[in-house]
Chain A
Amino acid sequence: MPSENYVFDIERNDGKGSIRHDRFQVPKKKISTVLEGLTYISENLDGTLAFRHSCRMEICGSCSMSINGKPRMACSTIADSLNSEVIRVSPLPHYEVIKDLVVDIDPFFEKYKSVKPYIIRKDEEEHNKELLQTPEQFKLYEQYSMCIKCGLCLAACPISGSDENYIGPAALAAALRYNLDSRDQGSNVRLDITGGENGTALCHYAGECSEVCPKDVDPSKAIQILRRSGIAHELKQFFRREKDARR
């Protein structure tokens, strides 16, 4: 007979290197998502359990963690769908742990920031006019604008795991999102960054990032497109330099 409880096996970390595993019994009928399981534990069994959460509807991107070995959002992971009575929860890999399931997400944001994720235009001062963009132009990059900055892709990316300087999937997808935006004029600036030594060249196209993305952003595809436009950009730069040199 199946048990009435899930067993939450949670990796606890004091942030100073000491790791232990705590097991909590959570009644199946009290929860449907893994996040509910964690709040049940926090409210009833152990208030010191540290984890992030906010919206509970997979839009804020706070409750990223590793669940049964895979990076996922706790709020949108239905416990029953894991087909396991034991639910193993640990902090996201490739990030430093602050406490329990809370990791230092700052490096992720720093990388994101580095690709200049905003519209760059020459007529910057003119703010009171609508810029036109057809639905077709919007469709070109809509997928890449769905990112909720949950950081799962970086946790899944094998390159990010071994090279902390790699800009990583989310930031590269964000760069492409702006480069494809018909209102933007900053592609060249971004291609210099994404085509640099920490950019698209490091990607092995293993596709793990796209597999874990809860919003189907498909960073892996974005990186491929970005690398192609990066090569064209490089060639253009090269010929420009040649031309300048001949002068």
Chain B
Amino acid sequence: MAEQYLKTESDILIIGAGGAGMRAALAASDAGLRVTVVSKSLLGKAHTVMAEGGMAAALGNVDPQDNWQVHFGDIVEEGVYIGNWRMAEILAKEAPQRVHELERYGAVFDRTPDGRILQRAFGGHSYRRLCHVGDRTGLEIIRTLQDQIIHRENVTIFDEMYITNLLKKDGRVIGAVGMKMDKGEFHLFRAKAVVLATGGCGRVFKITSNSWESTGDGLGLAYRAGATLQDMEMIQFHPTGMVYPPGVRGLLVTEGVRGEGGILYNKDKERYMLKYSPQKKELDARDVVARANYAEIQAGRGTEHGGVYLDISYKGAEFVKQKLPSMYMQFMEFAGVDITKEMMEVAPTVHYQMGGVRVVPDTGATTVDGLFAAGEIACGLHGANRLGGNSMSDILVFGKKVGEGASEFVKNVELLDVDESVVNQEIERVLSLLKPEGTNAYDLIDELTTTMSDNVGIVRDAEHLQIALETILKLKEKYPAVGAPGGRKYNHGLLAALELGNMLVATEAIVRSAIMRPESRGAHTRRDFPKKNKEWLKNITIVKENDGMKFETIQVPEVPEELKQYVKPEVY
């Protein structure tokens, strides 16, 4: 007998309720459309909440010389010239408006003495540019958007809803099937357009700053629906994650620490950034600082727990507690370290996927009709390396853009009927994972994430990438045997089995792209190809074909003449 499922119809279905998803919902709500937002976790708990340091926007409040042109140049240069210039332009121009809008929604910010929004320094930004509230900016952003979204009458929210697959008809995405985890019920969502705002895939690595949710679900959904992925080899390592105790390994230590004056030392108390980056020192771009930290640890100059030292204590207890209250608590509670008196131990941790679903800059449209994407799941803006604070601007600027883009799209299309058998098939697929004798998904996830952290790290080479690829292919073969005991309701084992399917797509895309790029650029460093190569001023794209992933390279769109003056020419 066919399974029962609930049906919801809307103009736009938004998958993901982090900053990008919620901002997209507000835009579509402003357009007067019926919007459905689904979220894997509870509303307000998405990964955005973990952002600490701030949101980059060239307000020029503390450094009046700053403007969108400088911000634009910083993004293109630090993205090592393979980012999409148009996305960089949109972000640089519109981020200030999004900050002011957040303010009107009720977000709090730290302030200058005369009451304007305070901005702090961050790596790779030419001026002090990050609007922030202490070191809990993400919490404030998500709370503000949540408080807006919950009283919009045309927005319906389903939280703890896991989307298992997108549905297509005549080449167009027409909805999705989801499972409401807290109820164990299946849902069919019909929509004229679907927006992916599912965040990243940091969880495919063992050591990551990412929350439980970031398992690359959107990559799997988009890939299976035929959308193009791009730049998947570009995984950002944040230079400073906690290393001790083991349970918090990888947890983020905000770049705000360095922004406020934090200094990196090796175990010999040498300030080694003077050597790696004499000009920008601790505040160079993340790829540079992460590689420096890694190199010091590799050279045997690391700390007891395998990190380097980060010191802010010299600034005094009052300063530290005021500027970095969450960091103070985080180290006190988890590590028993008083950062106003002692140095922190830190090491690089997987933080962000620069790659993702290829989109049209102005609308967020993917290569599949009816499917849109924004935020970490979309790609192009950050190129080979993201600047700190640009992810918060990204989700708000492009969240709004995608909401508007999708709203425009739905004006000209009808809601299509969904074939019941397709829904039943998908439900059956999910339920087939409920088998007590199945292979434990967590065991496979452990093997997958371990191989990624061991072999696809900051510095890569052909040999280790090959080891990772072989492990991934072996796990892909084992995947059909995966199963979870228990029932439908709130079953973590079942969820892990579903997530693993997406994690396998994400990891294969990352590793094959990394093998394909024989150069070192931005976050992608090859031991066997240590130099940047002009021939590789390209993006690697991936689409699904019958026999697996098909890879191509495409030229990076050239910066138009009128904008070239804001970008330093690339040097090889």
Contacts and interface: CB of A to CB of B under 8 A. Distances in A.
Interface string A21-55: 00000000001110010000011100111101111
Contact of A133 (B47, B105, B115, B247): B115
Return the 6 tightest CB-CB contacts between A and B, nearest first: A47-B493, A48-B486, A132-B115, A119-B106, A50-B490, A43-B442
B45 A119 contact: no
Contacts of B252: 57
A32 B49 contact: no
Nearest to A174: B147
Interface of B: 41-47, 49-50, 59, 97, 100-101, 103-106, 108, 110-117, 133, 136, 138-140, 143-144, 147-148, 150-151, 182, 211-213, 245-248, 251-252, 326, 329-330, 333-334, 440-442, 446, 484-487, 489-493, 496
Of residues B41, B114, B148, B247, which shows the largest number of chain A Cβ atoms within 10 Å of its Cβ?
B247
A118 B144 CA distance: 7
A137 interface: yes
A128 B42 CA distance: 31
Contact of A109 (B108, B150, B182, B489): B150
A145 B213 contact: no
Interface of A: 15, 31-33, 36, 42-44, 47-50, 52-62, 76, 78, 98-100, 102, 104-105, 109, 113, 116-119, 121, 126-135, 137-138, 142, 145-149, 178, 181, 183-184
Given A48-B491, A131-B104, 5 more contacts: A47-B440, A47-B442, A50-B492, A52-B42, A149-B143
B42 A145 contact: no
Contacts of A57: 50, 248, 251-252, 330, 334
A187 B19 CA distance: 28
Contact of A48 (B41, B136, B148, B485): B485
A134 B111 contact: yes
B333 A36 contact: no
B158 to A, nearest CB: 12
A121 B144 CA distance: 15
A212 B151 CA distance: 29
A127 B442 contact: no
Contact of A132 (B110, B116, B138): B116
B247 A119 contact: no
Contacts, number: 168
A118 B151 contact: yes
Contact of A60 (B115, B211, B251): B211
Nearest to A42: B492
15 contacts: A47-B484, A47-B486, A50-B491, A54-B213, A57-B252, A59-B50, A62-B41, A62-B42, A113-B151, A127-B100, A128-B101, A129-B100, A137-B115, A145-B133, A147-B143
A121 B106 CA distance: 10
Contacts of B117: 130
A138 to B, nearest CB: 6
A49 B329 CA distance: 30
B212 A100 contact: no
Nearest to A137: B115
Given A56-B211, A60-B50, A134-B111, A128 B106 contact: no
B100 A130 contact: yes
Contacts of B46: 54
A55 B247 contact: no
A134 B114 contact: yes
A117 B212 contact: no
A36 to B, nearest CB: 5
A156 B494 CA distance: 33
A146 B182 CA distance: 27
Contacts of B133: 145
Nearest to A101: B490
Contacts of B103: 130-131, 183
A217 B487 CA distance: 39
A132 B329 CA distance: 29
Contact of B182 (A102, A119, A132): A102
A118 B486 contact: no
A61 to B, nearest CB: 7
Contacts of B115: 132-135, 137
A113 B133 CA distance: 23
A104 B181 CA distance: 12
A145 B140 contact: yes
Given A42-B492, A48-B486, A118 B245 contact: no
B143 to A, nearest CB: 8
